[in-house]
């Protein structure tokens, strides 16, 4: 299989994962959680919505929280493109599934309703904000630097993955279930590390988690310790620990609405075109989870639906990492 069919010649040039939009039931509570525990900062806020970014980011936001009484859900995920002409190319690529929209803090934006049910925005630029990286006294919690990647559960990783490969993504790593003849996981990237979008097998589409980079292990521990201070110790769902794929370090925490945030260390660099895709054998669980034991059922089975998107296919439960 060609894991990077259009990586060097993409139909439009996505540069990185951009943002994620979630609904929450109590905006104050959710903003406090992301400020106090993760260390994200609020760029803007109105009655119904808050826009947050990492302390290293100049982009207007990487996280949008919208108040809603409905079941907590994901309104959309987002990717950045190099420039506005990429949106024209993308509109042509997606045809009727794409439409121009306006979003606070964002430049030209194209909303895509992907056949998988994943709803994503392509964004050509955001309002520039001050990088508060050197305002050290103001830093809180885990000092979240920036958004890194998103993981979405889909019932058919091959089909959905192929569509993203056609957009120019490369699969840095995959988890292959040879017995079933399918992929349990696919780590798709455009920027210089192993993942912008991770696809995992299961009933979907659902957002499994979004991952922010924190500076060090101390920050990961501090997030867990703060969760306990806030009476949310049981929301520390998994880790701190180590993934096999990407050699990633992690701690997963559930927010007040059950959305899952992963805190990670700065990932390795993956950039050279000749680097081969790493293929993990789904049966080789000892390498996929090198230590720390399997994830809980809660971690594997619970996820955030996309707002108003039916779970269009019944697939196997997500088990790419920890079965």
Q: Residue 21's CB: how many other CB atoms inside 10 A?
A: 22
User: What residues are paired with 174 via a beta bridge?
Assistant: 186, 279
Under 8 Å CB-to-CB from 197, ≥6 apart: which residues? Answer: 17, 77, 79, 149, 150, 151, 152, 164, 169, 188, 189
Residues that bind a copy of itself (CB under 8 A): 8, 15-16, 36, 56, 58-59, 80, 82-83, 107, 125-126, 128, 131, 133-137, 140-141, 145-146, 191-192, 215-218, 221-222, 224-231, 233-234, 236, 240-242, 247, 249, 265-266, 268-269, 271-276, 286, 289-293, 296
CB of 80 to a copy of itself, least distance (A): 6
CB of 86 to a copy of itself, least distance (A): 10
CB of 123 to a copy of itself, least distance (A): 10
CB of 116 to a copy of itself, least distance (A): 26
> Whose Cβ is closer to a copy of itself: residue 119's or residue 146's?
146
DSSP H helices, the chain, are 27-33, 84-94, 157-166, 217-229, 285-288, 297-301
Which among 24, 58, 26, 64 is positioned nearest to 44, based on CA atoms? 64
Strands 278-281 and 170-177: parallel
> Whose Cβ is closer to a copy of itself: residue 104's or residue 311's?
104
> Which DSSP letter does residue 37 get?
I
> Whose Cβ is closer to a copy of itself: residue 102's or residue 291's?
291
> Whose Cβ is closer to a copy of itself: residue 110's or residue 309's?
110
**Residue 87: CA count within 13 A, CB half-sphere:** 21
> Whose Cβ is closer to a copy of itself: residue 18's or residue 160's?
18
Nearest-angstrom CA–CA distance, 234 and 99 = 41
Which among 49, 246, 290, 36 is positioned nearest to 148, based on CA atoms? 246
> Whose Cβ is closer to a copy of itself: residue 14's or residue 74's?
14
Dihedral class, residue 32 (left if φ above 0, else alpha if ψ from -120 to 50, else beta): alpha
User: What residues are paired with 185 via a beta bridge?
Assistant: 175, 200
CB of 291 to a copy of itself, least distance (A): 4
> Whose Cβ is closer to a copy of itself: residue 173's or residue 206's?
173
| CA distances from residue 177 to 119, 153, 198, 209, 317 in whole angstroms, order as listed | 27, 16, 16, 22, 14
CB of 245 to a copy of itself, least distance (A): 11
CB of 157 to a copy of itself, least distance (A): 24
- Indicate the burial class of 12 (C-beta count within 10 angstroms; 0-12, 13-18, 19 or more): buried
> Whose Cβ is closer to a copy of itself: residue 114's or residue 189's?
189
| CA distances from residue 48 to 35, 67, 133, 156, 210 in whole angstroms, order as listed | 17, 5, 27, 35, 22
> Whose Cβ is closer to a copy of itself: residue 114's or residue 222's?
222
CB of 73 to a copy of itself, least distance (A): 26
CB of 83 to a copy of itself, least distance (A): 6
């Amino acid at each position: 299989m060609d894991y990077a069919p259009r990586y060097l010649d993409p139909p439009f040039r996505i540069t990185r994962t951009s943002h994620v939009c979630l609904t929450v039931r109590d905006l104050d509570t959710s903003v406090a959680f992301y400020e106090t525990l993760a260390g994200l900062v609020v760029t803007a806020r109105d009655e119904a919505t808050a826009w947050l970014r990492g302390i290293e980011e100049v982009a207007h936001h990487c996280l949008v929280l919208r108040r809603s009484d409905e079941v907590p859900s994901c309104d959309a995920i987002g990717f950045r493109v190099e420039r506005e002409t990429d949106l024209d190319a993308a509109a042509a690529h997606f045809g009727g599934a794409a439409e121009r929209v306006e979003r606070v803090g964002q430049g030209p934006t194209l909303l895509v309703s992907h056949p998988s049910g994943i709803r994503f925005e392509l964004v050509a630029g955001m309002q520039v904000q001050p990088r508060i990286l050197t305002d050290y006294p103001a830093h809180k919690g885990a000092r979240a630097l920036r958004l890194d990647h998103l993981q979405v559960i889909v019932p058919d990783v091959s089909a959905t993955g192929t569509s993203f490969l056609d957009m120019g993504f490369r699969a840095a790593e995959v988890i292959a279930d040879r017995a079933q003849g399918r992929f349990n996981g696919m780590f798709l990237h455009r920027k210089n590390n192993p993942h912008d979008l991770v696809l995992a097998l299961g009933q979907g589409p659902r957002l499994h988690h979004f991952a922010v980079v924190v500076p060090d292990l101390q920050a990961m521990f501090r997030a867990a310790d703060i969760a306990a201070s806030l009476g949310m110790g049981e929301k520390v769902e998994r880790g701190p620990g180590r993934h096999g794929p990407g050699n990633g370090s992690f701690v997963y925490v559930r927010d007040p609405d059950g959305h899952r945030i992963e805190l990670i260390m700065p990932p390795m660099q993956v950039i050279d075109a000749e680097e081969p895709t790493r293929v993990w054998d789904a049966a080789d669980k000892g390498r996929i989870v090198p230590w720390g034991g399997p994830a809980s059922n809660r971690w594997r089975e619970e996820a955030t639906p996309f707002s108003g998107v039916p779970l269009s296919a019944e697939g196997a439960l997500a088990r790419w990492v920890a079965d």
